[in-house]
Amino acid sequence: MKKTLKLSSLLLLVLFLYSGASKAQDNYPSFGFDNSFTNLSNPDSISMFTGAFAFAQIGGENYAGIRFQPNLSFGKVGIGLDVPVYFNLDNGDLYTDEFKNGTGVLRLISYLRYGRKKKDPVYVKLGQLKGESLGYGSLLNNYSNSPSFEKRKVGLSYDIRIKKIFGVEGMYSDFNTQSFNLFAIRPYVRPFGTSGIPFIKTLDFGISYITDKDQTKRFGDNSEINEFLSDGIKAYGLDMGILLINSGFINLTGYAHYSRLSKVKSDSLIAYHQLTPPTQGYDAGKGTGIGLNANMNVIGNLFRLNTRIERLWYTDNYIPQFFDAMYEVNKDAKIAMLGDVKSQQGIYGSLTASILDIIMVGGNLLLPDNISESSPATMQLNLRTQDLFDKIIIEGYYTKGNLTKMSDTFKFDSNSLALMRFAYKITPFLVTGVDYRWSWSEQEDGSFKADNSVMPYMALRFQF
């Protein structure tokens, strides 16, 4: 079965190699690859109002009510709100779980944004973070700070460039007063940025630093915390990139990176390894990689592609893109995995296609050469249609971690995150549909279980 997974994956990667690659942006490489799927069509740039009357099943209980979700865009400034007003159909209580603990009522704000990432000199976004990356993604890639829809977090993402030479990008995962959570920063320099020399002026170098000391008690004073993070985790990286081909039709960026995951020093982790000792021992892990990122525009927005392929080498106790979409689900479990990871090589690839900016489909795959329980694959799939046939709206997002068998690809379990939406436009302003969400989240007793909801709805939806 593992051979089947590898062969099918390699066929996909062959397609990556033959895909071209999008319009040059500001004559600089789009280093960072924050999320090629959202780069092709960014819904944050569209002003849209949605007010949905819905029936929702959350945690096995039934609710009904209204969810207001306006997205407003004024040039470089954008704001998105998410205001649920649900009542329990059994006892009439107002649903308030989305606002318990931490930032509370701030969760009404989906995001506040200024600028466009990788396009404007100043970009800042406050709120829910999705598809985040740092630099060329060696340590932090496709990261989301809110894997649980009902327990959304408020984080910060930014990228600021100064006079085409210096810049800094980074993020903070959760403004919670209980602890210092995931923090990432990457200062970078383009030493020839103002020289005017083709290609050479796009050369950039960056230094990354990431740390997480998350000791948040999610459900009150008696709840569980991330035990292995009592002394925190630290990671460092170096990277560089250059734009190799640049035109209105195609651009191609080459890059290389080196990163290091420091040894997690925690009494709880030491005790855990005494019970289940790693066969190769546990220490800091290191990884390197080289890759290409390509974009292609065909006749304006008729057909656009974003592709990326990367070759990876890493030592014992290192997981590429350690801070990913699954990291926030169970941080202790991910740290514990480091003890069993052995020296390995692998491939990372992504492909995203857009047709007339109406149909957008894409995915990415992190594939070790020798897949095992200690070195599994990770996959993401994305789909979005905008008023297909002027009537149909389909959106989907799926992440699968710890993938070792093809038969488990679409098996919903503790390694899965999913969002699916099907809607039909009855009139230009009235929509009916259903949302389905799946995540694996910590409960009040410290255990983890499936957290899913099904929400049929009628919505008033219009763009302006």
Domain-wise residue ranges, the chain: 2-463
Instruction: Give the pLDDT score at 29.
Output: 40
Q: 424-457: buried (b, 16+ CB within 10 Å) or exposed (e) per residue?
A: ebeeeeebebebbbbbbbbeeeeeeeebbbebeb
Separation between Cα atoms, residue 342 and residue 313, nearest integer Å: 11
Instruction: Give the pLDDT score at 289.
Output: 96
Instruction: Give the pLDDT score at 8.
Output: 43
Instruction: Give the pLDDT score at 49.
Output: 75
Cβ neighbours around 233 below 10 Å, total: 26
Per DSSP, 290 falls in state E
State pTM to two decimals. 0.80
Instruction: Give the pLDDT score at 304.
Output: 85
| Confidence label for 44 from pLDDT (cuts 50, 70 and 90) | low
**Kind plus residue range of the DSSP H or E element containing 251:** strand 250-261
Instruction: Give the pLDDT score at 45.
Output: 60
Checking if the pLDDT of 328 tops 70, the result is: yes
Per-residue model confidence as pLDDT tens digits over 121-165: 999 999 889 889 999 999 999 898 887 666 678 899 999 999 889
Q: What is the mean pLDDT of the chain?
A: 80
Separation between Cα atoms, residue 460 and residue 464, nearest integer Å: 13
Can you spell out the DSSP letters for 300-318?
A: TTTEEEEEEEEEEEE-TT-
Top pLDDT among 362 and 69 is at: 362
Which of 35-49, 148-162, 199-213, 350-364 is least confident? 35-49
Mean pLDDT calculated for residue range 333-359: 89
Checking if the pLDDT of 82 tops 80, the result is: yes
Checking if the pLDDT of 174 tops 90, the result is: no
Reading phi first (left if > 0) and then psi (alpha if -120 to 50, else beta), residue 237 is in: beta
Q: What percent of the chain has pLDDT over 70?
A: 80
Per-residue model confidence as pLDDT tens digits over 7-28: 344 333 333 333 332 333 343 3
Checking if the pLDDT of 168 tops 90, the result is: yes
- Closest residue by Cα to residue 283 from 362, 338, 230: 338
| Confidence label for 51 from pLDDT (cuts 50, 70 and 90) | confident
Checking if the pLDDT of 220 tops 70, the result is: no
Top pLDDT among 20 and 425 is at: 425
Mean pLDDT calculated for residue range 96-109: 66
Per-residue model confidence as pLDDT tens digits over 381-423: 988 887 777 788 888 889 888 888 878 888 887 788 888 888 8
Separation between Cα atoms, residue 72 and residue 81, nearest integer Å: 9
Which of 47-51, 351-355, 395-399 is least confident? 47-51
Q: Is 180 exposed, middle or buried (0-12, 13-18, 19+ CB in 10 A)?
A: middle
Which of 64-68, 174-178, 313-317, 424-428 is least confident? 174-178
State the amino acid at position 380 in one-letter form: Q
Instruction: Give the pLDDT score at 320.
Output: 93
Instruction: Give the pLDDT score at 311.
Output: 96
Instruction: Give the pLDDT score at 6.
Output: 43
Instruction: Give the pLDDT score at 103.
Output: 53
Instruction: Give the pLDDT score at 9.
Output: 41
Q: What percent of the chain has pLDDT over 90?
A: 28
Instruction: Give the pLDDT score at 224.
Output: 65
Collapsing DSSP to helix, strand or coil, 9 comes out as helix
Chain centroid, CA 187 distance in Å: 21
